[in-house]
A and B are shown apart, each in its own frame.
Chain A
Amino acid sequence: MASACKVKAGDLGKIADRVNASFGRYKAMLMVCTGTACVSARSFSIRDRLALKIAEKGIADDYLVVGTGCNGFCAVGPIIVVQPEGVFYQRVTDKDLDEILEQHLVGGKPVERLLYEDPATGKVHTRMDEIEFFGKQQLIALRNKGIIDPENIDHYIARGGYAALGKVLEAGDPEAVIREVIDSGIRGRGGGGFPAGIKWQSGRRAAGERGEVPYVVCNADEGDPGAYMDRSIIETDPHTVLEGMLIGAFALGAREGFIYIRKEYPLALVRLEKAIEQARSYGFLGPDVLGSGFAFDVSIHRGAGAFVCGESTALMASMSGRVGEPRAKYVHNVEYGYRDRPTVLNNVETWATIPVIMDRGASWFASIGTGDVAGDPWAGSSGTKAFSLVGNIANTGLVEVPMGITLREIIFDIGGGIPNGRSFKAVQTGGPSGGCIPASKLDLEIDFDSLSEAGSMMGSGGLIVMDDQTCMVDVARYFIDFLVDESCGKCTPCREGLFALKRILERICRGEGEEGDVQFLEELCGTIGATSLCQLGATAVNPVMSTLRYFREEYEEHIRDHRCRAGVCKELITYRIVADPCTGCLACLKPCPTQAITGEKKKVHVIDEEKCIKCGICREVCTFDAVEVV
């Protein structure tokens, strides 16, 4: 058979040296973030214009513009980082490019007004690593974020990419790979926290016993609202996912792999497709990987918008061209998964971490994080975890931190605390299946087990920070509403139970709660949790359970006093214009969709409660804070 292989294991170093040498010829490289958040702020145009301007100036030999994946600090995008010195420019627009070109590249002086100013201390930071947001992070899965061009395989190789694969193939011992993964203690990053190595071992055993070729699958159906780590990893560094899957496939003896990706992530899909194409042309994927004789290829399945398809059995049903309904898991996927063959499914972040483990060794990885996982992966949580830090927080963005860090460190040190003078109320972790953790638990060292004990879960890693203007009953209602929508409807506890929960919560939010509702909610949650078919239903009650546990008094206020202290539940609040600050500027009259506001110039305006639909637009447009919610 004609070998399509172009690159041998020994060539990797040469490619890396060549690329690094070519980078070395530039005086500076301008890393323009082109993750989804920055792209929506026109960073593609910034990247292209910058390259054009540099070419026009005739300095293209000295300066290289690179469009990178998500830098992580999405709050201040679009971002340009000038390497190697690491000057960090934020909120760049097309208009700023000339200044960067003239003053910085030619003049050698950073453009001060585009630098990051710490809102807490007022200090201006020139370099990226001085900024607190980046300070406490430790990057493994996201090690290449903001450094490489995700659409160029050479950049990945230059950073040591595919070397771990080369090492594994050269050693040629699949059992050793699995031992290494078990010893590293890595647990599934998708939320369940099942030790990846043990999963691989079972898959390999099942495949061996039945004499069938297993499959590896990458779950990129990141459905949790408020979480976008997986999307960022693929947009930033798609090759690391492929390399992880290659290593896994080798360890398991798989020849085919699949990536199931959400359709809501068009940019990630394009980058993934490009990466697969490039990996094939280099011979990293194909009939003879790196000239070792090992054959493996990857294809993509697009999801069609169903949250439940993140559940492993539902995902495999969907990959088979059926509706994504889960099945009972007394038969494991590692035994009978996709096409009834042994199938190992891991999340994007898990796959992205594997190359680093193989490269730097299990004991290095195990030394990061909590617990001693040397003998037993269940004994702790090793390594790092990526979180999307969002909500009512100053520095929103993507962070990767070692397990065992406290919530306080993430929210207040990295995240910069709560903006607008508000106070911290809760942080929601684990997506719709997770729970809300109150201020009293801020010093919780987070890992898989501590979060479960606190009534929440790790989930895929969304951290949604909520301030005191968030109503916890409304949050619980919101999640249940989402899950009612997303329940596949196969089993009764989930389909009917969640619906019943929703109706009660809606009633409470309308101020029609009754004595005994809280107890009934608890009872119902217990039943749903115990009897649902899959984890979607079993964990769906967490948002209600955790808010009941930590914020019971809010439920009671809604029921007893018909009061929503956060001013969210519409039926329990009224909008009022306060006489003092109102200047009678007429600004709120026109936007009001129901003409509920009357008033004359320079006279205090009045809201007609009968007409008011509580849309809140008047509050938004008022520049004098004269509209209050009571």
Chain B
Amino acid sequence: MASEHVARIRDAHENLARYTFEPAPLQRGYSNRVIRIDVGKNSMEILPVTQQMKDLWIGGKGFDLWLMLQEIDSGTRWDSPENPICFSSGPLGGTTSFPGAGKTLVTAISPLTDSIMDCNVGGYLGPYLKFAGFDALEIVGKASDEVVVVIDGSTGEMSIDRAPLESIDSHLLAEELTEMYAVNEHDKRNVTVVSAGRAADHVRMGVLNVSFYDWRRGIPRFKQAGRGGVGTVFRDKKIKALVVKAPESPPPWKVAENKVASHFASDKLDLAAERTDREAVRAIVRKWNCDPEYAIEMMQDVQDLERCISMAAVDEVSLRTGVSKARLYHIATFYKAFSLEPRGETIIQVCVGTTCHVKGAARLLETFERELDISEGGTTPDGRFSLDAVACLGCCSLAPVVKLGDEVIGNVQSKQIARMMKKQRSN
């Protein structure tokens, strides 16, 4: 898209309302804030999320319905100014850990049924709203002219702009606005545009298009909130588009110790990306002839090389074998050999096979946990030791058995462990 064109339509914007906000840290999946935007009165306000909402109205749909109930009464029709369009993604929104956690729930009174309907949509809206610091968004009122509503998490600004020159059609509009609000090509990934398109002006079943930027094709693509005609309501409010921009690095997600979720926390991500030797990973993939059947073998070699499966390594393996990243993560989290977080230099394996169990392996494991001050599966903060309980090392005749790195030690007693670790530490 020509930048002069974008500059021209941006210059035609006239600001109607502006509001600045602070970022909100996420706590257990909530930012504890909701935005209410009235495009009729050009006002914006931040509402708190109450404990009652979390207890009784949990989830994207719950929050949306709660917000709707605050706005409507029995006389509210689909084209009443007070009919709110509500967007929310629930406490798991934006995590990568569960299927559907990227979805956004949208509710409004439907032009088709004249009652409350909900629909859900992919795209980046819900997650980016969350990253910007809001659990839900509701839009009420009717604008007098065509407007664009912008929530920018990177600058902490919200605005309503009169926007006369933008295209109405979604495929053009999303390109224009993505270009307008991204500072560079890389930043386009942080922009999502919600729009309805020309047809929604004429029919009652208009859909909402939620964009996500496809960096491989270099264009924004869309997911649809298609049920019930919410696009028609959107256009009825004379909104051309809603733009939400995520902060440059999203807040680290603290969904209770979920392995995959924590892997995507931005601080770890940057570290891992720097450390990964992509050339070495490529050599591993070549060694197995880029054969997808040997993906597990490749990942084992990567694990040996990096002591973890980094995002960059998954990226390389996926690119060169054609195996999807989702499948590689499935493998990485299914098999015990893999870890998404770096393991220690020395891995201490306490065998808890049946024979060792009968001979008191549980006590050994506890002693190691105390001695190293980590729990089973953990790694010491200095990165030297990881502690694992393994099912059977096949040395049952030596039970109970502990493996320190490559060394198998048989007939271990709890009392030896302190000395054993002292020796290891001094090495």
User: Measured between C-beta atoms, what is the minimum distance from B300 to chain A in Å?
Assistant: 6
Bound Cα distance from A344 to B408, whole angstroms: 35
Q: Out of B296, B336, B415, which one reaches A591, CB within 8 Å?
A: B415
**Interface segment, B68-76, B87-95, B146-154, B353-361?**
B353-361
**Interface segment, A36-44, A206-214, A523-531?**
A36-44
Bound Cα distance from A388 to B395, whole angstroms: 10
Known: A304-B300, A615-B363. A321 touches B295 (CB 8 A): yes
User: Measured between C-beta atoms, what is the minimum distance from B37 to chain A in Å?
Assistant: 43
Q: Is the CB of B335 within 8 A of A304?
A: yes
A47-87: contact bitstring with B at CB < 8 Å (1 yes, 0 no)?
Answer: 00000000000000000000000000011010000000000
With a cutoff of 8 Å between Cβ atoms, the chain B residues found around residue A301 in the complex are: 296-297
Bound Cα distance from A380 to B16, whole angstroms: 89
Q: Is the CB of B358 within 8 A of A304?
A: no
User: Measured between C-beta atoms, what is the minimum distance from A411 to chain B in Å?
Assistant: 14
Please provide the chain B residues from 286 to 311 with a CB less than 8 Å away from any CB of chain A in the complex.
291-297, 299-300
**Cβ-based interface call for A412 (8 A):** no
User: Measured between C-beta atoms, what is the minimum distance from A574 to chain B in Å?
Assistant: 16
With a cutoff of 8 Å between Cβ atoms, the chain A residues found around residue B112 in the complex are: none
**Cβ-based interface call for A391 (8 A):** yes
**Cβ-based interface call for B7 (8 A):** no
Q: Is the CB of B415 within 8 A of A620?
A: yes
Q: Is the CB of B353 within 8 A of A321?
A: no
**Cβ-based interface call for A494 (8 A):** no
Q: Is the CB of B392 within 8 A of A227?
A: yes
Q: Count how many pairs of residues, one from A and one from B, have CB atoms less than 8 Å apart in the complex.
A: 152
Q: Is the CB of A616 within 8 A of B358?
A: no
Q: Is the CB of A392 within 8 A of B335?
A: no
**Cβ-based interface call for A466 (8 A):** yes
Known: A75-B397, A321-B296. A478 touches B334 (CB 8 A): no
Q: Is the CB of A464 within 8 A of B398?
A: no
With a cutoff of 8 Å between Cβ atoms, the chain A residues found around residue B15 in the complex are: none
Q: Is the CB of B335 within 8 A of A322?
A: no
User: Measured between C-beta atoms, what is the minimum distance from B177 to chain A in Å?
Assistant: 40
Q: Is the CB of B335 within 8 A of A323?
A: yes
Q: Out of A74, A319, A321, A478, which one reaches B398, CB within 8 Å?
A: A74
A207-241: contact bitstring with B at CB < 8 Å (1 yes, 0 no)?
Answer: 00000000000000011111110010000000000
**Cβ-based interface call for B331 (8 A):** yes
With a cutoff of 8 Å between Cβ atoms, the chain A residues found around residue B293 in the complex are: 319-321
Q: Is the CB of B300 within 8 A of A225?
A: no
Q: Is the CB of B414 within 8 A of A470?
A: no
A286-317: contact bitstring with B at CB < 8 Å (1 yes, 0 no)?
Answer: 00000000000000011111110000000000
Q: Is the CB of A321 within 8 A of B323?
A: yes
Q: Is the CB of A482 within 8 A of B391?
A: yes
User: Measured between C-beta atoms, what is the minimum distance from A535 to chain B in Å?
Assistant: 17
Tier of interface size on chain A: 35 or more
**Cβ-based interface call for A265 (8 A):** yes
Q: Is the CB of B300 within 8 A of A323?
A: no
Q: Out of B366, B390, B392, which one reaches A224, CB within 8 Å?
A: B392
**Cβ-based interface call for A346 (8 A):** no
**Cβ-based interface call for B337 (8 A):** yes
A462: nearest residue on chain B (CB-CB)?
Answer: B354
**Cβ-based interface call for A144 (8 A):** no
Known: A226-B355, A304-B336. A40 touches B331 (CB 8 A): no
Q: Is the CB of B409 within 8 A of A40?
A: yes
With a cutoff of 8 Å between Cβ atoms, the chain A residues found around residue B294 in the complex are: 321
B377-404: contact bitstring with A at CB < 8 Å (1 yes, 0 no)?
Answer: 0000000000000111111111101000
Interface SS of B by simple majority: helix
B107-135: contact bitstring with A at CB < 8 Å (1 yes, 0 no)?
Answer: 00000000000000000000000000000
**Cβ-based interface call for A390 (8 A):** yes
B346-370: contact bitstring with A at CB < 8 Å (1 yes, 0 no)?
Answer: 0000001111111110010011001
Bound Cα distance from A41 to B401, whole angstroms: 12
With a cutoff of 8 Å between Cβ atoms, the chain A residues found around residue B413 in the complex are: 620
Q: Is the CB of A37 within 8 A of B355?
A: no
**Cβ-based interface call for B410 (8 A):** yes
With a cutoff of 8 Å between Cβ atoms, the chain B residues found around residue A231 in the complex are: 394
A594-630: contact bitstring with B at CB < 8 Å (1 yes, 0 no)?
Answer: 0000000000000000000001110011000000000
User: Measured between C-beta atoms, what is the minimum distance from A506 to chain B in Å?
Assistant: 13
Q: Is the CB of B396 within 8 A of A228?
A: yes
**Cβ-based interface call for B338 (8 A):** yes
A466: nearest residue on chain B (CB-CB)?
Answer: B358
User: Measured between C-beta atoms, what is the minimum distance from A307 to chain B in Å?
Assistant: 7
**Cβ-based interface call for B327 (8 A):** yes
**Cβ-based interface call for B268 (8 A):** no
Bound Cα distance from A305 to B334, whole angstroms: 9
Known: A40-B409, A74-B398, A264-B392. A616 touches B354 (CB 8 A): no
**Cβ-based interface call for B254 (8 A):** no
Q: Is the CB of B394 within 8 A of A222?
A: yes
Q: Out of A41, A321, A615, which one reaches B410, CB within 8 Å?
A: A41
Bound Cα distance from A263 to B352, whole angstroms: 17
User: Measured between C-beta atoms, what is the minimum distance from B343 to chain A in Å?
Assistant: 13
Bound Cα distance from A223 to B354, whole angstroms: 12
B414: nearest residue on chain A (CB-CB)?
Answer: A617
User: Measured between C-beta atoms, what is the minimum distance from B376 to chain A in Å?
Assistant: 11
Bound Cα distance from A305 to B391, whole angstroms: 9
**Cβ-based interface call for B330 (8 A):** yes
Please provide the chain A residues from 386 to 405 with a CB less than 8 Å away from any CB of chain B in the complex.
388, 390-392, 396-397
With a cutoff of 8 Å between Cβ atoms, the chain B residues found around residue A466 in the complex are: 358
User: Measured between C-beta atoms, what is the minimum distance from A624 to chain B in Å?
Assistant: 15
Bound Cα distance from A428 to B358, whole angstroms: 11
With a cutoff of 8 Å between Cβ atoms, the chain B residues found around residue A345 in the complex are: none
Closest 9 CB pairs of A and B: A225-B353, A74-B397, A305-B336, A40-B408, A304-B335, A225-B392, A390-B396, A228-B394, A226-B354
List 7 A-B residue pairs with CB atoms under 8 Å apart, sorted by A's residue number: A36-B408, A37-B395, A40-B408, A74-B397, A77-B397, A227-B394, A324-B334
Q: What 12 new A-B contacts, CB under 8 Å, besides A228-B394, A620-B413?
A: A74-B397, A223-B392, A225-B354, A225-B356, A225-B357, A226-B354, A226-B355, A323-B330, A323-B331, A391-B358, A462-B396, A593-B367
